């Protein structure tokens, strides 16, 4: 929300001219309802003025001259705050990474945990091998099936693999149905 308000104020501080809601939406490339909501908020706060052009027509927005220097100051302050937020988010990410590394190191340093991690690695490698063998098996079935049989439709192919070969719908859709 702060970023959108900053962007709106930036538009007005760069050029002192009125803008329609549509122009601001196009400049910021954000949904109209979000922009309109923020414009209304700024108008309520007295930072900008707005007026509907005709009955249920578009809105025109501008900054009163007495508010222009204040808007420029607020915009600069928002830029500083945004920079601080980005810096804090980066620090947070670095701290999370360091924390994960410490936890991971502690887990693998303990002989009991090292043994468990090694066992899990071994099981994962076995599962990978099983999956590779299963894929080879599926591919061989597919090759032999397509050599020996012509299917009338995708539905025939589906029924064959489900009923005759016992494959799940997921596997059939993933490997056999185009």
Domain boundaries defined on the chain: 2-81, 114-176
Give the least confident one: 6-20, 65-79, 134-148.
134-148
Residue-averaged pLDDT of the chain: 79
- Rounded-to-10 torsion of CA 165, 168, 169, 174: -90
The DSSP code sequence of 144-171 is HHHHH---SSHHHHHHIIIIIT---HHH
Would you state the pLDDT for residue 26? 92
Give the least confident one: 31-40, 74-83, 139-148, 157-166.
139-148
Mean pLDDT of 110-124: 81
* Cβ neighbours of residue 28 closer than 8 Å, sequence gap 6 or more: 4, 7, 8, 11, 35
Any idea what DSSP says for residue 174? I
Would you state the pLDDT for residue 29? 92
pLDDT above 60 (res 169): yes
Would you state the pLDDT for residue 55? 74
**How far is C-alpha 159 from the chain's CA centre?**
38
Q: Which two tokens stand for residue 44?
A: 């309520």
- The whole-model pTM stands at 0.41
Would you state the pLDDT for residue 142? 67
% the chain with pLDDT above 90: 2
Strands 59-62 and 49-52: antiparallel
At the topology level, CATH places domain 2-81 in Arc Repressor Mutant, subunit A (1.10.10)
């Amino acid at each position: 929300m702060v970023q959108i308000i900053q962007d709106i104020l930036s538009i007005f501080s760069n050029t002192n001219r009125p803008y329609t809601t549509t122009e601001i939406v196009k400049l910021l490339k954000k949904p109209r309802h979000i922009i309109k909501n923020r414009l209304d908020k700024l108008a309520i706060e007295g930072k900008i003025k707005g007026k509907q052009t005709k009955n249920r027509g578009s809105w025109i927005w501008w900054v009163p001259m007495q508010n222009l220097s204040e808007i420029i100051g607020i915009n600069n302050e928002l830029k500083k705050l945004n920079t601080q937020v980005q810096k804090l988010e980066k620090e947070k990410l670095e701290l999370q990474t360091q924390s994960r590394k410490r936890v991971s190191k502690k887990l693998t340093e303990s002989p009991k945990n090292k043994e468990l991690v090694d066992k899990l690695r071994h099981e994962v490698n076995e599962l990978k091998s099983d999956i590779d063998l299963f894929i080879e098996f599926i591919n061989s079935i597919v090759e032999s099936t397509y050599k020996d049989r012509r299917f009338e439709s995708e539905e025939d192919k589906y029924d064959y693999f489900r009923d005759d070969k016992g494959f799940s719908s997921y596997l059939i859709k993933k490997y056999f149905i185009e």
